[in-house]
Amino acid sequence: MPTPARVPPAHPQVRLPGGEFLMGDSFGEGYPTDGEQPVHAVRVTPFAIDVTTVTVAMFRAFVDDTAYLTAAEREGSSAVFHLAVAAERADIIGNSPAAPWWLDVRGADWRHPLGPLSTAEPDHPAVHVAWDDAMAYCAWAGRRLPTEAEWEYAARGGLAGRRFAWGDELTPDGRWLCNIWQGAFPYANTGADGWLATAPVRTYPPNGHGLYEVAGNVWEWCADWFATDYYAHSPAADPKGPRSGERRVMRGGSYLCHHTYCHRYRVAARSANTPASSSGNCGFRTVAARGVTPGVRRTPCSR
């Protein structure tokens, strides 16, 4: 394993004080198989978390230092949304029977997020990153993935029991505060928020803890294995998820989420995927492995 290196200072973290919060869906809006209930009190110890998801520029530094190949690069293809594909027809291998708007595109990876005819922008989230790839990045950077409880605590931004990271209304004063689908999913996107696929990090206002894009844009991997019934018996202090499983937790939703199909940009929403899976709408942010790292700024206690 490469010697851990410091993540470039252009990718800062915020130090959160920890404390107790109510975790889970207070509105009864979650999908039953996602296991967002019961709402339960959770205590987390202080930790430092990235202000944004890991960007293409940050991920490139890791790859340049280690020559790492992601799962998508090793497999030779990855999943791209059908309206965003930038590839020759011959490079479209097939689609998902369960979700035909996902196309398996040869040459789609973190460098080419929409297919081989696209180029990743340095300030966009790194996508086509499997859970295993995110763990490799963390090992290099001296970081770790957040637990699911840490992620929700951070994403709530100090707001208790709210639907979204900013409150209960999706578009207060008519403003779009996250990058999600507008229109009739999956065939017509009005582009009301300005983006069909990923937006650059820091495009939307931060939450109360100073974290950007904790709703929409890209799904974010968490450390935990996923289980639908975990909330019914999870420990009250620093839960770390089941001891084993088949899928890892993802949080935050993505640019493809829509209330008619995937109402998972709510702060309590959960989803999961297998550790080797990659797609054009999934990335990650990291947590300091220990102590306060360089570039960290402190946030006031939760309100």
pLDDT at 96: 87
* Phi, then psi, of 93 in degrees rounded to 5: -80, -35
Q: Which fold has domain 13-285?
A: paralog of FGE (formylglycine-generating enzyme) (3.90.1580)
Between 89 and 296, residue with greater pLDDT: 89
How many CB atoms lie under 10 A from the CB of residue 106?
A: 16
Longest Cα–Cα distance of the chain, Å, equals 54
What pTM does this model have?
A: 0.93
Work out the average pLDDT over 205-226: 98
For 260-291, give the DSSP string. Answer: TT----STT--EEE-TT--BTTEE---EESSS
Nearest to 99 by CA among 270, 283, 281: 281
pLDDT at 192: 87
How many Å apart are CA 6 and CA 27, to the nearest integer?
A: 41
Q: Is the pLDDT of residue 1 over 80?
A: no
- Angle, nearest 10°, between helix axes 56-66 and 131-141? 70
Nearest to 49 by CA among 264, 281, 274, 251: 251
Q: Is the pLDDT of residue 7 over 70?
A: no
In this predicted model, what pLDDT tens digit does every residue of 219-274 receive, in sequence order? 999 999 999 999 999 999 999 999 999 999 999 999 999 999 899 999 999 999 99
How many Å apart are CA 111 and CA 237, to the nearest integer?
A: 39
Q: Is the pLDDT of residue 178 over 80?
A: yes
E strands in 74-182: 77-81, 92-95, 102-106, 143-144
pLDDT at 297: 42
How many Å apart are CA 228 and CA 142, to the nearest integer?
A: 31
Q: Is the pLDDT of residue 137 over 90?
A: yes
Asked whether the beta carbons of 116 and 261 are under 8 A apart, the reply is no
H or E element in which residue 292 lies: none
Q: Express as a percent the part of the chain with pLDDT over 70.
A: 92
Query: Domain residue spans in the chain?
Result: 13-285
- Fill in the amino acid letter for 57: A
Cβ-based neighbours of 223, under 8 Å, separated by 6 or more: 144, 145, 146, 147, 148, 240, 241, 248, 249
Q: How confident is the model at residue 290 (pLDDT cuts 50, 70, 90)?
A: low
pLDDT at 292: 41
Radius of gyration, CA atoms only, the chain: 18
